[in-house]
Structure 1
């Protein structure tokens, strides 16, 4: 048993670390554009921030749909049936590209009403328009790339998406710099150059991924087999993965409201949140990556009708997630000791605010990791709606109203305000745990067959 557990852990770690690095590199691409645009002034930065916010929400939905397809594809890979893999891949691609096309049309037709809704500064309009008019093409490119990445992850080939990001980033940086600032006789096209640079880099990444798919030897993708029963597959595929996209919207909109309420705090307290947030987000990716790799392995087991070790694999995934979360909690503790050195020159009030919330953000990875792995297990079992319901109730019905009351009415200290976000995660634990146990106990070959569409 110990040897089998060791193999399970090694397999998941092999998949998890490239997924974590991928997530960090995705954030890095936006940071590159920000650094390159910075010399153009605050107006250009503000314009890019507004335009990228619009596209980021849409790309986030596409990514969520692809993550849902990843579990469907993992089951298909586990079954070993090329017809099922081909059909699931095409269904995922059609769904994702349909949303990408819809978003593209919305931006094209309603660009100006959206711009005027998000900004009342007419001086920014031309820059926002220039950036948005080009960056919208990334929606179509990403629609293809994300589903391709989902298939590679489902096959356990998580290094291929990592490689695609590693060479895309320098291409993005070089192309964007040249197009923004120019070189020699070319004077550059300003903020539009950042968008065009991203389009070029993501287009090259898409081509690379499709070439790798064509020549990989793990599964055989058949266009002819893809169309057999495709309509029913698309319907069932969409029914399973749409709650994941809806879940992403619920959490993202909730996060936006959290940020808006944080902005009501005194400047020093708000600055403390802004300082620490990117670091905590980056560290959390390692816990999420392990949970995602566990879901892939569990989905593959379901696809291959291997239920003998399903309970023990889930239990092991949870234990390892707790272990990884403890490491991240320790890293957060170390961060709390050096954060003042990372951000020198601020007021003592800001540093006191950072110290006051340190126990909470050190504790958060342990709670969030436990919640995340249970959510991924439920999704692997096809219970995506259950995860959506839990996230919606805990965030929108309980946490956000309480957060607003504490901020706007009680005007409490930053410690109690930040504690609400920790409470939200704690509230999810009993529901996630109970449902995971219930659905695992009920899971059998009949329920597995229902997922093998």
Structure 2
């Protein structure tokens, strides 16, 4: 009982900063949106188009860093500073290489991308202005995300949170000054928002690197890291690439869902647009617990402490279900006040919100269960298994079904939205089966294979 209490407290200590971090990441985009809004719809649309391009690339980098997080957690758990240094350098090489690739692609193919995404020539100048500056965020984030992954792997999740809390006010103040100016400086408009974000991200990167330089938990050594790093990079990438591919599959699938939702009546589509950001924010708390569980499990694998692995996984699942229950209750409360949050809309829109309420209240319970099993599989190094399950359930089953329900049956919003819940339900059996299977087979030999020494 005491051990269980210690395990839960340790994970909660790691989980809540991870959840707040995720919310603050979304907040940085909200800052730019609020600041640019007075410039008019054209500037907002231009920023939305440009940020969509960069957000997809940043999402891939973030997914790679999340994969590195499990590798770094195992290295930290092993207590071997040389392995931790090597894993950190490998993660940095992979993420920075991808960042440079994306930066180069944006630089060379900027105009073909702009013309592909938008056909409104009036927006091109603003899109170009924002994209030409915000692309530097790719390089800065490439370093920051791996640094954050290392802090999380060490259990120091509050430091990344502190980096966001320090830089968000800088982002807001500097961006406002650069957009609108002050005194003799008249501002540079939409590119000022991008430059403000880049300056804030640069400050965050410097803060994290200084913290890494002076942290005392583990000594990072470039000399130790460079020995055999090529093999480590190869194995590291082999494990983390399916996570990035998984992110792309889910992101493109989400875009396909949104495209299908636009075929619904305007009021029904408006209802989905209203509720989605809130559900996304609430889901971060379940995800944060699942991620912290994966870190703890990875640390145990690194230290070859496998005696309690099965019980730790079982406990993580139980707590995730409990957290999911709390989020489901929060979703229920949200359903009661959503019309107060968005007043002045038609009764048809509010009816659509009421119709899908049982579905989005149920969703956290199912999604939490599948999420924690997915994180367990990743902690065990089975990232390809998670990719396969997500690809099959979303692209081969759920999206074709959604298209049929929307385009052929012309069904109501309830049945259309129910497909997303059905997709999550489809994952329950394969996720649980795979996690239990690999957990039963996992032993010291398999743990050693994951160390990439």
**Same fold at TM > 0.5:** yes
- CA displacement at 1:253 relative to structure 2: 0.2
Q: Secondary structure at the match of 1:120?
A: coil
Question: What are the equivalent positions in structure 2 for 1:143-158 lying under 5 Å apart?
Answer: 143-158=142-157
Looking at structure 2, the residues matched to 322 and 354 of structure 1 have their Cα atoms a distance apart, in angstroms, of 25
- Unmatched segments (≥5 aa) in structure 1: none
Question: What are the equivalent positions in structure 2 for 1:240-259 lying under 5 Å apart?
Answer: 240-259=239-258
Tell me if 1:94 matches 2:90. Answer: no
- CA displacement at 1:264 relative to structure 2: 0.9
Question: What are the equivalent positions in structure 2 for 1:287-366 lying under 5 Å apart?
Answer: 287-366=286-365
Q: Counterpart in 2 of 1:59?
A: 58
Q: Secondary structure at the match of 1:333?
A: helix
Q: Counterpart in 2 of 1:191?
A: 190
Looking at structure 2, the residues matched to 43 and 67 of structure 1 have their Cα atoms a distance apart, in angstroms, of 35
Looking at structure 1, the residues matched to 179 and 410 of structure 2 have their Cα atoms a distance apart, in angstroms, of 44
Looking at structure 2, the residues matched to 168 and 281 of structure 1 have their Cα atoms a distance apart, in angstroms, of 23
Tell me if 1:266 matches 2:265. Answer: yes
Question: Structure 1, residues 355-413: CA drift from partner, whole Å, max 9, x if none?
Answer: 00000000000000000000000000000000000000000000000001101110100
Question: Structure 1, residues 323-348: CA drift from partner, whole Å, max 9, x if none?
Answer: 00000000000000000111111101
- CA displacement at 1:250 relative to structure 2: 0.2
Question: What are the equivalent positions in structure 2 for 1:23-422 lying under 5 Å apart?
Answer: 23-422=22-421
Q: Counterpart in 2 of 1:430?
A: 429
Question: Structure 1, residues 201-222: CA drift from partner, whole Å, max 9, x if none?
Answer: 0000000000000000001100
- Unmatched segments (≥5 aa) in structure 2: none
Looking at structure 1, the residues matched to 333 and 53 of structure 2 have their Cα atoms a distance apart, in angstroms, of 35
Q: Secondary structure at the match of 1:249?
A: helix
Looking at structure 1, the residues matched to 10 and 425 of structure 2 have their Cα atoms a distance apart, in angstroms, of 30
- CA displacement at 1:152 relative to structure 2: 0.1
- CA displacement at 1:130 relative to structure 2: 0.2
Tell me if 1:12 matches 2:8. Answer: no
- CA displacement at 1:301 relative to structure 2: 0.1
Q: Secondary structure at the match of 2:188?
A: coil
Question: Structure 1, residues 100-132: CA drift from partner, whole Å, max 9, x if none?
Answer: 000000000000000000000000000000000
Please give the TM-score of this superposition, normalised by the length of structure 2: 1.00
Root mean square deviation of aligned Cα: 0.3
Looking at structure 1, the residues matched to 285 and 111 of structure 2 have their Cα atoms a distance apart, in angstroms, of 39
Looking at structure 2, the residues matched to 156 and 217 of structure 1 have their Cα atoms a distance apart, in angstroms, of 13
Equivalent residue pairs, number: 452
Looking at structure 2, the residues matched to 271 and 183 of structure 1 have their Cα atoms a distance apart, in angstroms, of 38
Looking at structure 1, the residues matched to 339 and 148 of structure 2 have their Cα atoms a distance apart, in angstroms, of 38
Looking at structure 2, the residues matched to 12 and 73 of structure 1 have their Cα atoms a distance apart, in angstroms, of 17
Q: Secondary structure at the match of 1:264?
A: coil
- CA displacement at 1:244 relative to structure 2: 0.0
Looking at structure 2, the residues matched to 422 and 444 of structure 1 have their Cα atoms a distance apart, in angstroms, of 35
- CA displacement at 1:195 relative to structure 2: 0.3
- CA displacement at 1:5 relative to structure 2: 0.1
Please give the TM-score of this superposition, normalised by the length of structure 1: 1.00
Looking at structure 2, the residues matched to 345 and 149 of structure 1 have their Cα atoms a distance apart, in angstroms, of 42
- CA displacement at 1:19 relative to structure 2: 0.1
- CA displacement at 1:292 relative to structure 2: 0.1
Looking at structure 1, the residues matched to 227 and 448 of structure 2 have their Cα atoms a distance apart, in angstroms, of 18
Q: Which runs of 4+ in 1 moved over 4 A?
A: none
Looking at structure 2, the residues matched to 189 and 411 of structure 1 have their Cα atoms a distance apart, in angstroms, of 47
Looking at structure 2, the residues matched to 430 and 219 of structure 1 have their Cα atoms a distance apart, in angstroms, of 40
Looking at structure 2, the residues matched to 295 and 230 of structure 1 have their Cα atoms a distance apart, in angstroms, of 24
Question: Structure 1, residues 162-185: CA drift from partner, whole Å, max 9, x if none?
Answer: 000001100000010000011111
